[in-house]
């Protein structure tokens, strides 16, 4: 079984550097262009199943893919982004000013942080990894499965796959509209490709 983990494209909050957890923010024009190019790329690969976080920005991408590949979108709550609570919509500077202790811990010891009225990375990883394991049981071993999700969620899945402690979370970077490829069979799971943006035109990167 092969999984293609797709991060959604750009929103205005991405552009402005605002933290974007489970707020339902739409893709902007660049994000929509990225979604169309991603859909074209995936159509050539002929996936057999399509799952998405139910948040609006990911569903916009999934619906583009759905039209291109002729598959229905199956919503999966486990692939939602980190619930940021009080930090939804704030910038890094605002976080540092209003929640200095949380900001310092997030930069230096991210695995220890529970977002104010939100989640921790460990909680996110548990539900996102659990959702992936559910798909492994449900899908056939020969399937090519597309999952549209989010920055932190995908990074947590990859970290779990690689056995990387969440203390090192900030050592990973994931581009908007990128694709990560995982392989899974009865013997092992492997990361085949990380953070690929080769399907995007220069104008869309």
CB 171, CB 184: distance < 8 Å? no
Burial (CB count within 10 angstroms: exposed 0-12, middle 13-18, buried 19+), residue 173: exposed
DSSP-based three-state secondary structure for 31? helix
The total number of residues shown for the chain amounts to 205
- State the catalytic residue, choosing from 8, 103, 168, 170: 8
Distances (CA, A) of 65 to 38, 138, 195: 7, 21, 18
Residue with the two structure tokens 């549209």: 148
- Dist. CA 194–CA 58, nearest whole Å: 19
Residue 150 falls in the annotated catalytic set: yes
Closest CA to 154 of 112, 186, 196: 196
- State the catalytic residue, choosing from 103, 150, 170, 199: 150
Residue 170 falls in the annotated catalytic set: no
Parallel, antiparallel, or unpaired: how do β-strands 189-196 and 179-184 relate? antiparallel
- Dist. CA 95–CA 73, nearest whole Å: 35
Active site residues: 8, 150
């Amino acid at each position: 079984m092969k999984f293609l983990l797709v991060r959604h494209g750009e929103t205005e909050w991405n552009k402005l550097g605002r933290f974007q957890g489970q707020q339902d923010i739409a893709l902007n024009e660049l994000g929509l262009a990225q979604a169309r190019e991603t859909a074209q790329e995936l159509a050539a690969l002929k996936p057999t199943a399509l799952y998405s976080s139910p948040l609006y920005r990911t569903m916009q991408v999934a619906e583009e893919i759905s039209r291109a590949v002729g598959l229905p979108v199956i919503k999966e709550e486990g692939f939602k982004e980190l619930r940021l609570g009080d930090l939804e919509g704030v910038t890094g500077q605002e976080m540092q000013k209003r929640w200095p202790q949380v900001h310092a811990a997030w930069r230096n010891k991210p695995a220890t942080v529970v977002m104010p009225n939100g989640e921790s990375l460990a909680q996110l990883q548990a539900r996102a990894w659990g959702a992936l394991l559910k798909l492994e049981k449900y899908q056939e071993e020969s399937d090519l499965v597309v999952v549209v999700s989010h920055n932190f969620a995908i990074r947590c899945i990859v970290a779990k796959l690689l056995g990387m402690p969440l203390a090192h979370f900030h050592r990973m970077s994931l581009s908007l509209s990128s694709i990560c490829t995982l392989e899974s069979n009865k013997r092992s799971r492997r990361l085949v490709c990380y953070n690929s943006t080769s399907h995007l035109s220069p104008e869309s990167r």
